[in-house]
Amino acid sequence: MSKDKLQTIRDAAPAVLPSLLMCDFGDLKTEVQRLEAAGTRVLHLDVMDGHFVPNLTYGMPIIEGLRKHTDMPLDVHLMISDPLKYAKPMVDAGADLLTFHVEAVEDAQSVAQQIRDLGVAVGVALNPGTPMEKLDGCLDAVDMALVMSVEAGFGGQSFNPIALERLRTLRASHPDLLLEIDGGINEQTIGQAAAAGCDLFVVGSAIFGKQDYAAAIGSLDQAISAAGKAGEVSGS
């Protein structure tokens, strides 16, 4: 990936990233077209291996298929036990940003550098139950930190407000780092995340559970904007 795609992601922020896990995979091309028409600028893909997390989703063929139908950056979240084993195949398939879980590796800084050497942007993800200290030493080696507001791979969980505290901490310590949140993001929680300093908001059912993607994304964008305006007023 050229630096242009990372810059595209930065320029899009604050941005809603539809999680394609909930889309219609029988008509993927149309889904992408609908999302683009609704104003989407970055797509999020959840890759689960059935080992690091209990669910199994998709791999390189879906990434490759999407790449044929869109120029949007593909933000690929690797919820897998051995991210380095599949990093290059993911990049070859068309991934632009690869995020691995700090819980899955021994040396996060080394893993981040090896992924970066493949020519893509790199992110590190942290589950709610994992101490923040696990990120020590690797944040300067990544382009993005993904703060999970639910435990990765488990459905039906409630939004964990510890994510907001973590976003505030990361924003204060790393003002230039892209911050992303994933899990339970909807019209009620997205504003809280925005106020805490988040840049990228991964959303599933709050988009794909609606008939009108543009209206759904518009409502989420409005909540982000309202949080920003409230922050400006309180800071003035």
**Looking at 49, 75, 143, 182, which residue is catalytic?**
182
Ligand-binding site membership of 154 (annotated): yes
51 is in an annotated binding site: no
Query: Is 155 assigned to a binding site?
Result: yes
Specify whether the backbone of 156 is left (phi greater than 0), alpha (psi in -120 to 50) or beta: left
59 assigned binding-site residue:
no
| DSSP count for the chain of H helices, then E strands | 9, 8
Check whether 136 is labelled as a binding-site residue: no
Q: Based on the residue annotation, tell me whether 82 is a catalytic residue of this protein.
A: no
User: What is the crossing angle of helices 83-93 and 60-67, to 10°?
Assistant: 20
* 156 marked ligand binding residue: yes
Amino acid at 24: D
Q: Which of 46, 75, 96, 143 is catalytic?
A: 46
Rg for the chain, CA atoms, rounded: 16
Is 204 annotated in a binding site? The answer is yes
Catalytic site includes residue 27 = no
Which residues contact residue 166 at a Cβ distance below 8 angstroms, ignoring those fewer than 6 apart? 126, 132, 147
Q: Is 218 annotated as belonging to a binding site?
A: no
Residues 6+ apart with CB under 8 A from 176: none
The reply, when asked if residue 94 is annotated as ligand binding, is: no
Residue 46 marked in a binding site: yes
Secondary structure (3-state) at 43 = strand
- Helix boundaries (H) for 72-203: 83-93, 108-116, 162-173, 190-195
Please give the positions annotated as active site: 46, 182
Annotation: binding site for a divalent metal cation: 44, 46, 77, 182
Annotation: binding site: 19, 44, 46, 77, 153-156, 182-184, 204-205
Annotation: binding site for substrate: 19, 77, 153-156, 182-184, 204-205
